[in-house]
Homo-oligomer: A and B are copies of this chain.
Amino acid sequence: MTTYLSDLASLVHGQLHGNGEIPITDASTIRDAELGHITFLNDEKYSQDLATSSASAVLAPPNIELNNLPGDLPIITVENVSKSFATIVEHFRPQRHASVNGISAAARVSASAKIGKHVTIYPNAIIGDDVEIGEQSIIHPGACIMAGTRIGANVEIFPNVVIYENTIIGDRCTIHANAVLGAYGFGYDTREGRHIRSAQLGYVVLEADVEIGACTVIDRGTFGATSIGEGTKIDNLVQIAHNVRLGKHNIICAQVGIAGSCSSGQYVVMAGQVGIKDHVHLGNQVKLGAKTGVRHDVPDNVKMFGIPGTPEREQMVRHAAVGKLPEMRKQFKKLQKQVADLEAKLNFREDAA
């Protein structure tokens, strides 16, 4: 499909600078752009990359410094570059929409399930007894929703997700492929040398607008809920143990592990591979750097790094000191020698005196 640059300017209601009659065949990032592609520039610091790119046109904000751009490169300026570029990408590569309408005959839906209006259920999905699914929700192939689970409206559950019994999922949640909600908590009592599984009577609650990454696991509570607050986003391969309570609008990056009964306030951010000991509470706006290992409660607004987790400033000082330690060891040995010499000299004089 060929489109003229002036057509794209109209599509995104942008201002065209330069030749609008160039044919454009695709939209790519600067890294990927080939001849005939339009690309985008959000930040002047990448304008050098643009100079060496094969792109035939660029989308940019109105206030960008144009001096560094290749002289004759046509520009479309728009206020929201990311959004407009997405519109152009979708023009060239339209998103696919559900080919299934309603409930596939090849899905297995319990007679006691209550399914809302305009719900899509794909082949091979399994909907257990007494499950409720709200309007407009989409259940992809192979997803297994076990008995008693209640799913809100406009929820999307991707293929092969497994949701155990009695889970509660709020409106507009998204759950990616192969995630698992409600597996048994990892709690055992050891009696006569054998590990006996603790009670597994609880469930998982996702409030509204929660997103769960692929292959992420959230265990059920022992007696009550493991819960994720409204608007919290969780990346792939994250472990959330039994009885955890995450607050609203947290950001939890990939491969984080949160042990049993932890809790968090609002707007907490955990970078990748963080680990948190059981029963720890993280205050509002706490930020944890990648791979941080947290063993104690963290007050509001504190930024932590390292293993064990240490406030940012302290950790930087400590890390710098360790970096200089080998040099300090050398100087220390020199100093020991100096002091020994001084002592010898002084003793010699005393002996001489």
Contacts and interface: CB of A to CB of B under 8 A. Distances in A.
Contact of A29 (B108, B148, B223): B223
B215 A96 contact: no
A178 to B, nearest CB: 5
Interface stretch (A3-11, A12-20, A66-74, A334-342): A334-342
For chain A, the bracket of interface size reads 35 or more
Contacts of A301: none
A93 B201 contact: yes
Prevailing SS type, chain A contact patch: loop
A255 interface: yes
A319 B93 CA distance: 52
Given A142-B142, A178-B180, A199-B89, A329 B339 contact: no
Contact of A215 (B146, B180, B231): B180
Interface string A279-307: 00000000000110100000000000011
A345 B347 CA distance: 10
Most buried by B among A126, A221, A317: A126
Interface in A64-120: 82, 85-86, 89-90, 93, 95-96, 99, 106, 108, 110
13 contacts: A96-B166, A99-B128, A126-B142, A142-B142, A142-B144, A158-B162, A186-B253, A195-B249, A239-B254, A257-B272, A272-B275, A306-B307, A318-B326
